[in-house]
Structure 1
Amino acid sequence: MGPPAPGGPPPPGGPYGGPPQGGDPYAGQYGGPPHGGDPYGGQYGGPPHGGDPYGGQYGPPQGGNPYGGQYGAPYGQPAPGKGTSPWLWVSLGCGGIFVIGVVLVLLLFFVFAEAEDEGTGGSADRSDSDMPGLGEEVAHDGLLFTVTEVETGLSEVEDWQATGEYVVVHLEIGTDDSLFPLFWRDEQHLYTESGAQIEEDYEATGAYDNTEMSVLVPEEGTVSTAIVFDVDDPAELSHIGLSAETYGGNEVEIDITG
């Protein structure tokens, strides 16, 4: 083939079979990529435009960890699947409420039990078969007690008016080798079925038989006396507590319902 005509375009490929103008001077000898690609022709497995120059050998998907997730989630972010289940907190909350409820029930039980003991003053229930009743003589702390009668339905005693209803308990008292044979009428109590304690009415007791509050018990035989109580409802009464001590206490209980 002869030389090109004067003034004509240069032959394609250059004098050494090069690429078009602006291309690889080695004409893609090393597998050059399209324009803008890896000048080494993707020899190392180059990615698409803008990708990892090392072909994604160590790279994650687009937008992922630049180190391929080798060390887990980025710092400061929770790892996927490691969050605490909300049911755990629900279970813990229900369990805590249950424990608190049990504690409150136990506290209320002990409070009411203690209040009942204090209200009854340690008195026995009227259903106790060991409790003596009307007409039975009872030895207690050197004295002998017998409840002979329980009088009800009185609204007044001498000049004293009952706020509820007067109940008069009549007694026969003897001695059982007591060193101090005195009985004090102002240290005695009635009890209701619920255990409520009722003190004697001091003024009405003194006015009932116009005698002293202390009763001298003879060495032989017995002495009769009476104690007056102001009661809301006599039908609720259960028993009387009688004490041989000067200031009361250590009572013996006698059923007055029979």
Structure 2
Amino acid sequence: MKHDRTIPMDASEVQLAACLYCRARQKTLCGGCELTELRSISQLKGKREYSAGETIFRPGDRPHFTGIVVEGTVSVGYALPNGDERIVRFLTEGNFFGRTGGQPVPYCFRAETDVRVCAFDQQDFENSMQAMPAMEAQLRDILIKEIDASREMIAWLSGPDARQKLTLYLVHLCEQQDGAVKGNAGPVRITFPATQGMVANHLGVTRWSFSREMSWLRSQGIISSSGHRTVIVHRPDRLIDIASSGRSDRNKARPALSGKGVEAAVQ
């Protein structure tokens, strides 16, 4: 006769276990929390799921929850005067979004893939910030990174042509892989957060220009494609050289990109 040795768990323990083994935990607000704090957070959260193409917030909405992306990609964009949409940011695993104090959001938040979100009631979220210093400190660190990300975006959007914009962005994606560009290591496997058409929109180039420059990088042996959104970067050092060349031509006083290419480009 077999005996079931499974230890029963109540709802709060199940919620805590989900937080402990969450892939996004170390990338977001919960990363610096102690076990007791994480237990408190786990009891406040809720789950939300969105299908690809579904709108989460529209411009002017007053979010009633703060969300943390656990899985999938959320695009952040706004409407142009001609009716087109411009993507300003992709939110992926560990990124959070929402506004405190009942302020309206200025952008459209849309699920580009199927998305799972860890959601906190706005008032509960604001109260937890006051009660948990570690979480508040983590929020400050995240805000600093958000500022750095904005500087990076300015760097690749201000590139002189589609090639430099694309290579700057590819360097950025490589650096997200645990600093894989440092030391010019390769190959590096990266994944676009959305379709190549959406990434082209984000970079401010046409889909034709994006496709042309991707083909050129493949012809040079710098990258190869592995699936619809996955790219293998074989020569990160060449990417860095190409990304820095246009900027150094425009401003000889600025240093060329090195191991942390995008950081050097925006200084």
TM-score of the alignment, normalized to the shorter chain, above 0.5 = no
Q: Shorter-normalised TM-score: what interval?
A: under 0.3
Q: TM-score, normalised by structure 1?
A: 0.21
Larger Rg, first or second structure (1 or 2): 1
Instruction: Specify which structure has the bigger relative contact order, considering alpha-carbon pairs within 8 angstroms and separated by 6 or more residues.
Output: 2
Task: Flag the structure with higher helix content.
Answer: 2
